[in-house]
Every structure is written in C-alpha cells, then in structure tokens.
Structure 1
Amino acid sequence: MEFSLKTKLVTGYGCLKKIGEIVQSFGVKKVLLCTDAFLLQTPAAHTIQRELEERGIGCVVYDQPQSEPTDVQCDEGAKFCKEQEVELIVALGGGSVMDQAKAMSAIVTNGLSCCQLDNVSIPKRMLPLICIPTTAGTGSEVTFVAVITNTKAQYKMTIMDSDHLSPDIALCDPALLATLPPRLIASCGIDALTHAIEAHTSVLANPFSSALALHAMEMISKNLKRCWSSPSDMQAQEAMLLASTMAGAAFINSDEGAVHAIAETVGVAYHIPHGTANSLFLPYVMEFNRRGNEHCYAQIAERLGGACKDSDDVENSRRAVCFVQGLIEKLEIPHFSDFSQVNPDDFEILAERAASNPMSYDNQKPIGKEDYIQILEDAYQNKKIYL
C-alpha cells in the first residue's frame, strides 16, 4: 500500500491574504496569475495582485483558461509563461483552471507538448505551483493529475505524476465560495461526492483513502444542501471545501471508477461539464456496483445519513443509492435527456469507449460495454431507483 500527499494545505476564512508571504518564501521575482476572465475582475484576484505588488514581486496575468481545458490551450499558455519568464504560477479558479496551470507548468520545465505528457512519467518537476480553489468539487488543489482534452483525438488525457505534478501549496479560503451560483455549487458538490464514493469503492482503495472518503461523504451530506440554499453560509462552505479536498486526496491514492469513465466519455462527446456529467450517472453506477457489495454501500448509507438501524445491509445499500439520487433531484441538476445534443444512437460507441477507459478496470466490479449501454439508457430515461 502507498499513500502520498505532497501538497501543503493552508485553510481558513481569509487565508487568501497570506498569499504574499507564501509566494515570497519561494524567493521568486516574477509570478503568473492563471485565472479566467471573470475571476480576474473579482476581489480575490485583486487581493493576490496587491499582496504581491506590496512585496515587490512582479505579476503577469494569463486569463485565457476556459471550462474543460484542451491541449491547444495548455500549449499556448506554456508559451506565454516562457515568453514572460515566470518562476511560479498561482492558479485561481476551479478544476479547469488548476488542471491547466499544472499542464502549463509541466510543459515549461520539460520542453514537451501537452500531448507528449499524456500517460507518461514526467521527467522534471513542474514550476512551483500554488492552487487557490474557488469551487468545492474537483480537489485538484491536492491531486497530481491534470485532465486535459486532446482536441485531435477527442478524448480526455490523464497527465499524472505523483513526484512532479503535485501543487506545492493549496490555499483553501471558503470566503471565495460565497458568491457561487447554486447550479455550480450543486454540480461541483456532486463531483466531490463522486470522488469520495469512487475512492472508497475502487479496487485500489486502502484504509487511509477510505477514511478520508467516508468522512468527506458525511461532510458533503450535511453541508451541500445548505450551501446550495444559502451560498453565504460560511460554515457550510468551509466544510464543503475541506470535504472536496479530502475527497481529492482520497481518490488520488486509490482511483476512480465507472462513473468517471462514462462521464468523461459523455462529457467530451456532448460538451457537458464534468461535475454535471458525473451526476448523470452516479446513481446508476452505484446501483450496478451495489449488488454483491451490499456491506460497502451500507457503510456509505450510514455516512450519508440514509441508513436505517433496523435494516440489513441489502436494504441499507439500496438506501445509499436512493439517497444520492434524491439529493441530485433536490439540487435541480439537469437530467441526461435534458441535453438536446444527446442522441441514443451514440450509446453503443460511447459505451465501447467507456469500457476501454483505464478507470473501468479499477471499478469495484468488472464492467463492460453492455453494462454501460444499460447505464446510459437508464440515465436517459431518468429511471427512478426505489427501495
């Protein structure tokens, strides 16, 4: 068994103001702020720029990252980094921004293209990287993975290296989540829940990853609906941010499974955001995996608050699935059939691609093309799962 967490965590309300002293500790003179055009106009970006300026540290801005980053965008960003001769990157944003920052940073130090980093050991450590998440979902601030779309082959590459792609610092300030729209809170929250559930149920799960995953599930169950209903609830937002980070640390030390395999495939094909794509399939993959693994899902039901003391593992395992499907409904996340671009005629090829995704091999139990076709059909029909 191996467990690794190489990122230093700095958490707490208002901790963003520590960014200046943290960057200064690296002894660098020029920094790249990697964020998107919207976040660049927020107080968070202004705070970062001001704190750096007060310490005489130069800061250039790269505000091109968009949702679901591509290899082309990463190569362009890395070129900008080289031209500006930056020594450290500060990534302010959600998973897409942080993943792009990781890829850009590794491209700079290794002299390779983004596609050349796909599924290989990265030779050299990336530039120093400080990740500041503005959503509670991906856990990318502590993972050594960047998920980038290969524009030519139309699939999501996994750039991964535990030694050379872990962020140096994760600066987690719940104050940055106060203005998130409910729809984003919902999709990101279910993304974090998916990470926790798949980390615990993966064939590569271990006692440390499961401990983090189970605790993350409990925190998400207690706080996601609160955040969605009242984004200014800082106690709930802080709990969600910590849960997201825990789930990230959990899955990076085990793996994800069939939910991510099909969600990535469908996300690329239909341009559906990652968190939303996970929510479309999570209940149906849970129902598939639950059979034969009832005790595991009874544990999940207990952490989610959906278990019944007088019920056996079989019934409580169903309660876990019903709880998750009910939560997704309460959060008003769209159904698979709500996306007009979805075509059932595509399901066979989508299922084939998902079955060949490496994450399918680490799913809790063997899963193949026909199983994925059934999951796609159930999701498209918005099939209800009952006790």
Structure 2
Amino acid sequence: MNLLIDSFEFGVLTQIHYGVGKLNELPDILKAENYQKVMIVTDPGLANSGLLERLEKILTSGEIQYAVFKEVQPDPTIEVVDTVRQLFLDNQCDAVIGIGGGSSIDTAKGVSAAVANPGDLGQFEGKNKLPNRGPDIIAIPTTAGTGSEVTHAMVLKDTKRKYKMGILSQNLHPKAAILDPQLLTTLPRGLAAITGMDALSHAIESYTSNQAQPITEALGLHAIRLIAKYLRPFVAQRTNLEAATQMMLASTIAGAAFIWGRVAAVHALSHPLGGRYKVPHGLANSILLPVVMEFNASSNQEKFKEIAILLGENVEGLSSREAALRSVDAVKGLIADLDIPPTLGANNVSLSEEEIHIVAQEALDSGVAAANPKVTTLEDLKNILRKAL
C-alpha cells in the first residue's frame, strides 16, 4: 500500500467488555441499554453443557426477561433465521444475544437483519446491501476462532442452492461483545484446535491480503504472535486460563483485522466446501491454509518470512524464498501438533473432477478470492483443491 496515494477505512463499532467472570455483569450491560426482553440464540451442545442454564440464572437474578432458541446447527440456514425471527417477534423481544461459536452469533445477526428487512435475506447478499439496522446484537463467544463478535459480516447457508451466502453491512455490527475467557474452558479439544486455526487463517489472510492496510497489518501480526504462543497449550489444556485468555483476545483481534483487511482464497474455497459437503469451517481452513500460503508465498516474501519468524521458525541464513516457505512448514507443523487430519481425504471427503470444478467456480464467483495477494484464476483454485485432497 502506498499511503501517499491510497486510502483505507477502519473501525470497530462494537463495545468490547473483557474480563474473567465478565458474563456475571451482563444484566448491568443490558440494563444500561434499557432492553425490556432479550432473545437468546444458542446451540444444543452449549445448552447441554450447563452454560445456558448459568446464563439464564444470571439474567433471572438481574431481573432481565428473556426467550430462548437453542437449536442452532453448524452452518446456520436462512430457514432457521426465519424461525427465530418469528419467535423474536412473538415474544416481543427488543435485542438478541448470540452465545456460542460463529454459528450462533451469525444466527443472531441474521435475526436482527430479518426483523428490520422483510423478504428473503438472499437479496442482500454481498456488501452494503442491507438497508436497515435491526435490533441490537450482543455477542458472547464461547470459542476462540471466528471473531464474529466484532465483525459486520455473517454467513448463512442457502439450502436450495447448497451455498454459503455472505452478507457484509455496517448494520450487522454487534452492539456489544462479552469476552469472558472462562467460557472457553469447557470447549472440546478438537473444536478448540480447528477454531484456533480459523483465527490463524483470519490473521494470516488479512495480513497478506491485497486489501491489507497499516492497522489491519498490525492487528494481524499480533494475532499471529499470540496464536503461535498459546494455541498449543490451550488445546492441550483448555482449563489453562492464561492460554484461554490469550486465544480469546487473538480471535477478536484477528476478527477486527480481517473484516477490513479481508480474507482471500482460503475462505473462498472453505465456504463451498462447508455448504456442499458439510466440512466444518475451521477444519476446511486448517486444511487449505498451508496450501494457499505456498501458492501465495512468492507474492510478498518478506511478509511470509515474518509469519515464519512469528511461528517460531529459524530463518537465519536462508534466502527470502526459503524463509517465506518456512511459514508453510510452520503451519503444517502446528496442524500436526494439534492432531488435525491434514487433508480432505483424511477427513473422508473426496471430490471428483466435476465437483472440484463446481467448488472452484463457486469460490471464484463469490468474489472472496479477489483479495488474494496473488491473482487467482479458476484453474489455480482447482489446483489448490487437488493439493488439499
């Protein structure tokens, strides 16, 4: 970026409330906004973990009225959003709480959008097409991965098209985010691993993107630094509160980085893999990240060298190219240490040449790959998928 001739935007419009035990202060945060009744949106796993019951007790003791929807599934659909929208209206709620991973928070965003914007949400796909801001969203992440609590993006599945649709709008920024590291300590090991890799993909893609700018670069680098140090110990022992704290911050920081610095070919391909073949988002990103990094490394060897150093690689005495490629080795090593199966085939996903073409075409048509630091053609995307098999 040439700061003499280029321009950029940056802003985090979400009020962040961070602290160990901060969930207990939720009633005060809600009362400050004078909400009369809130809609809680979450998933069955979180409901069964006891965390929903704890949240309900906190709200009841704080004299906050609420309604609950606890059936959010991975890759939430437009139909589910419409169901919860009707519950929101029937219960006369005036704010929506998304508690859980990215699926619950995206569903909460979808409910807010649907309440204020009648009709099929598919008509608002893309950037800045959502005309009206809906009821306030309070995001409470219980994974360290998506960063959705500070972004103005949501991804919903269109089941008719078997397609994951993205909507970006300033009207989707959560009003508040509650970051309580204690909420991460019961996360299953496998989920902690792939959501952590999701955060790393956000940080690396936003740092190397052709839309990167000074603020997103700084945030991306710091997120990489934190993840490099704390993801392994967090996955090994989720009750390690220091590691949980740093991973929660890394996820949020990476979210603030990628919503302006953009994600690229990794996410362009992971969305159709999730929409068509139900590959979990963090898992798809884990598999694709080193393949895309190897493809992109020549675009800015100094940036990839910096990533390698932050991830713990010794690049002394290496050429710029060799040092840049060490970043790929570092990510592959991290994936191995986290026991994430490194290919689609190892996760029982096989693609025919026709399916590879369909996924690559959807990735290209989405426009997400346009932010890739290296110009990416349809054939490039196909080759990346073949290497990921």
For Structure 1 versus Structure 2, the TM-score category normalised by the shorter chain is over 0.9
Equivalence for 1:174 = 181
Find the partner of 2:319 among 294, 307, 312. 312
Equivalence for 1:378 = 387
Distance 1:292 1:351 in 2: 21
* Structural mapping, 1:1-387, within 5 Å: 1-119=8-126, 120-162=128-170, 164-334=171-341, 335-345=343-353, 346-380=355-389
Equivalence for 1:385 = none
Distance 1:132 1:48 in 2: 11
Q: Is the 8 Å Cα contact of residues 75 and 274 (structure 2) preserved in structure 1?
A: no
- Alpha-carbon shift at residue 341 of structure 1 (Å): 4.2
Gaps of 5+ in 1: 381-387
- Alpha-carbon shift at residue 97 of structure 1 (Å): 0.4
Distance 1:340 1:138 in 2: 24
Distance 1:363 1:272 in 2: 22
C-alpha distance after superposition, 1:184-217 (max 9, x if no partner):
0110010000000000111111000010000000
C-alpha distance after superposition, 1:90-118 (max 9, x if no partner):
11100000001001111112233322332
Distance 1:75 1:342 in 2: 33
Going from structure 1 to structure 2, the CA distance change for 1:49 and 1:311 (only over 3 Å counts) comes to same
- Alpha-carbon shift at residue 27 of structure 1 (Å): 0.7
Distance 1:77 1:114 in 2: 14
Q: Is the 8 Å Cα contact of residues 287 and 344 (structure 2) preserved in structure 1?
A: yes
Q: Is the 8 Å Cα contact of residues 20 and 48 (structure 1) preserved in structure 2?
A: no
Q: Is the 8 Å Cα contact of residues 307 and 320 (structure 1) preserved in structure 2?
A: no
Q: Is the 8 Å Cα contact of residues 164 and 274 (structure 2) preserved in structure 1?
A: no
The 10-residue stretch of structure 1 (39-48 or 353-362) with the greater mean CA deviation from structure 2: 39-48
Q: RMSD value over aligned CA atoms?
A: 1.3
- Alpha-carbon shift at residue 131 of structure 1 (Å): 0.5
User: What amino acid sits opposite 2:293 in the alignment?
Assistant: M
Gaps of 5+ in 2: 1-7
How many residue pairs end up in the alignment?
A: 379
Equivalence for 1:384 = none
- Alpha-carbon shift at residue 263 of structure 1 (Å): 1.0
- Alpha-carbon shift at residue 37 of structure 1 (Å): 2.1
User: What amino acid sits opposite 1:366 in the alignment?
Assistant: V
- Alpha-carbon shift at residue 288 of structure 1 (Å): 0.4
Q: Percent identity?
A: 37
Q: Is the 8 Å Cα contact of residues 74 and 114 (structure 1) preserved in structure 2?
A: no
C-alpha distance after superposition, 1:286-306 (max 9, x if no partner):
000002421110111122222
C-alpha distance after superposition, 1:4-41 (max 9, x if no partner):
10001111211111111011111121111111122124
TM-score, normalised relative to structure 2: 0.94
TM-score, normalised relative to structure 1: 0.95
Distance 1:186 1:355 in 2: 28
Distance 1:31 1:350 in 2: 39
